Amino acid sequence: MAQKITTFLWFDNQAEEAAAFYTSLFAGSRIVSVQRPPGAEVAMTVEFELAGQRYLALNGGPEHSFTEAVSLFVDCESQEEVDELWARLTADGGEEGPCGWLKDRWGLSWQIIPRGLPELLGDPDPERARRAMKAMRSMSRIDLRAMEEAADGR
């Protein structure tokens, strides 16, 4: 079944490079198609899937760039997955941001979030949730164990 809504990403001229990198990060990912105008070396569009979700990337030129107003949220199963994705996405010119946010080398914003974070921040004990939030606000890459320790007052 075709996906009704597809995220469209505008790149200057690195769409194919970015798509190849992104698909290397997640199991179940692939380049679906690459469209090149006749005689062109650089792709016009690249359709790809990340863990089953379709994206379309365009080499549209430098007129537009990414902002933090849109980000890709990654629900990570483990701290190891958080750490690996964080390292790979911030490498080669990526930028760390606060509270699990980062920008990759092309300026696309990502949220690398460990499973369990929403429950910890929404703990029924408001003081525990407050301590967890305070700990998170001091972090770039989220460390769930450190947040749990802070929530517990350790």
Is there a shared CATH topology between the 1-62 domain and the 66-154 domain? Answer: yes
Q: How does the average pLDDT of the chain come out, rounded?
A: 96
CATH 3.10.180.10 fits 66-154, yes or no: yes
* Whole-angstrom distance, CA of residue 25 vs CA of residue 85: 7
Q: What is the mean pLDDT of residues 146-150?
A: 97
Q: Indicate whether this model's pTM tops 0.75.
A: yes
pLDDT at 24 over 80: yes
Provide the H-helix boundaries in 4-143.
15-25, 79-90, 117-121, 126-137
Q: How confident is the model at residue 104 (pLDDT cuts 50, 70, 90)?
A: very high
User: What pLDDT is recorded for position 3?
Assistant: 85
pLDDT at 66 over 90: yes
pLDDT tens track for 78-91: 999 999 999 999 99
Beta-carbon neighbour count of residue 77 at 10 Å? 10
Q: What is the mean pLDDT of residues 14-35?
A: 97
CA 73: distance to chain centroid?
5
Superfamily name with CATH number, domain 1-62: 2,3-Dihydroxybiphenyl 1,2-Dioxygenase, domain 1 (3.10.180.10)
Amino acid 143 reads: D
User: What pLDDT is recorded for position 1?
Assistant: 57
